[in-house]
Structure 1
Amino acid sequence: MQEITGSDTATDRRVALNAECIAVPFLDGHIPAVVVDGRPRVVIKPVVERLGLNWASQYTKLSAARWGRVVLVTTQLPGDTQSRGLATISLKAFSLWLAGIQEGRVAEHARADVIRYQDEAGDRLEEYFFGNLGAAARLSPAPLALNLDLSSLDEGTMAYLAQVGQALTQTSQALIAQKAVTVRQAKELEAAQHKAEVAESKAEYVNNFVDPNAANTLFRTFCGQINAPERKLREHLRAKGIIYKKLAGREWSKSEKRWKDVHEWNAHASYKTWFHQADQPDAPRLHNNQMRTTLYVTPIGKVAIDRWLKRNPIEGAK
């Protein structure tokens, strides 16, 4: 099997292999495939064009991917009048390539096909080539004609050979099923890795360039943003074990001419990322010279509290 890394040009066709094209029925058409060295491969260009993608850019992507392994094969597609050198990839590479397509970036008329291909094409190819005897025969050498004289074997030996044959059949079926699972897992892993890379980039940007306290919002202001009564939301969060009130000190009330207790709000340990306790250096000190603090809501807390309130609404709040 010869691999290519360049574009689909006449120069590349000089290394092409010959193989018969197999039209695997799928949706309202087919997926063209060939069998090379006993393994099925997908003729990729017709699929790229079916999904409304640019062939040149997709070929470059496949050639650069470590899992791409593009092989040029000379074959005649259904409906064509002659054999041509066409790029092919393995079933595993086909599934990984499909998983990497973002349906939001393809033409609107092709999005439904992209989703169907991502969800079903890999399984359909696996089923066609490995899931039934008729298709599997294309990938296997002709059965050996064994002219063995078993007449001299006793019943115990015959029973043992039957058990061995049954075990081999079961093992073969298990390996075929495992291969199908592996292909589906590869698609899921590729999609998960893409999401993780996006999330990691966002997290790295926040860690490197965003002041962690710059986007904090005063609790009272946050209540106004989500249209929640401040007093009721404080008590609701306290009742659910998210924040708590503690005695911070006392202050002198000129109007009442007496000392009054001053309480502050803090977050329980499990919810520290939702809130930020900020010092208020310009506010009057308490009787013990302790600096006052004010509760702020962090960006993480804003999203978390908003979601939490949808599951745990404030009773009586509109």
Structure 2
Amino acid sequence: MSVQSVNNTLSKHLLKIKGFSEIKVEKVKEAAKKCLPSGACGFITGAETLILRKQCFRLSTGSKQWDAILNGGFESKSISEVYGEYRCGKTQLAHTLSVIAQLPREHGGGGGKVAWVDTEGTFRPERIVQIAERFGLDPEVANENIIQSRAANSEQQSTLIYDLSEQLATGEFRLLVIDSLMALFRIDFIGRGELADRQQKLGLFLDKLHKISEEFNVVVFYTNQVQSDPGASALFAGADGRKPVGGHVVAHASTTRVLLRKGRGGERVAKVQDSPDCPEAEATYIITTGGINDPDKA
């Protein structure tokens, strides 16, 4: 656990550690606060915030059109969500990002490694090989720079994220992928009777993702499923009446939210639904052997 993690952890959770009394917890929290940079535990000016935000980087999607509506790509120190029906390119985007994250920043990458939490058995090293060849990377090295683990249930999914912090602390990682966020939560918690419990555990999971993104300066990217809801608000549902799974807990947690849908022919459409610095806009893309690409690159 890093100094910042200690500072961000609730005192009641630290009290659960064997040998920790209220007095000891108070001293540990005070020591952690002193070790953090000035302003990390209090108010700072907008000018100082601007300087801190220069540490963030943008991870290219592989499509110039898509990058344009995201101001360059998915941002670090934040959570990015893409949702849509099957075969719209969610997992293909995750594979593409996993290769681009290894490119130098001047080429739209992050210059680091990738961690992938697989909840649906969708990770394919063969796709990494194909996409790496497109970007001129050694396919074997590209796969070596990706660590992945298959989660069997939502509890294991959460445990993997907590265990991952030690490796992220090395500073070598630039992307964390969860594909997909809600698949296991939907299976493990069934019916309205378990909805409150599901949302509580989901909220804790998303809170951990937020802390990881900010503390380790990584792009946290997850895919999400959709469900039919003909009466849903246009804010959360597409024209076909589909809305992302997870309710308001997921909606509020995602910093940038993008809807993916099928277009004409083999084209797909990405639409920014919610973002603090990107207006609502659409981009057209295709899926090629080399991953996500622009239509004119077919």
Please, what TM-score do these two structures have when normalized by structure 1?
0.19
Higher relative contact order (CA 8 A, sep 6+): 2
Please, what TM-score do these two structures have when normalized by structure 2?
0.19
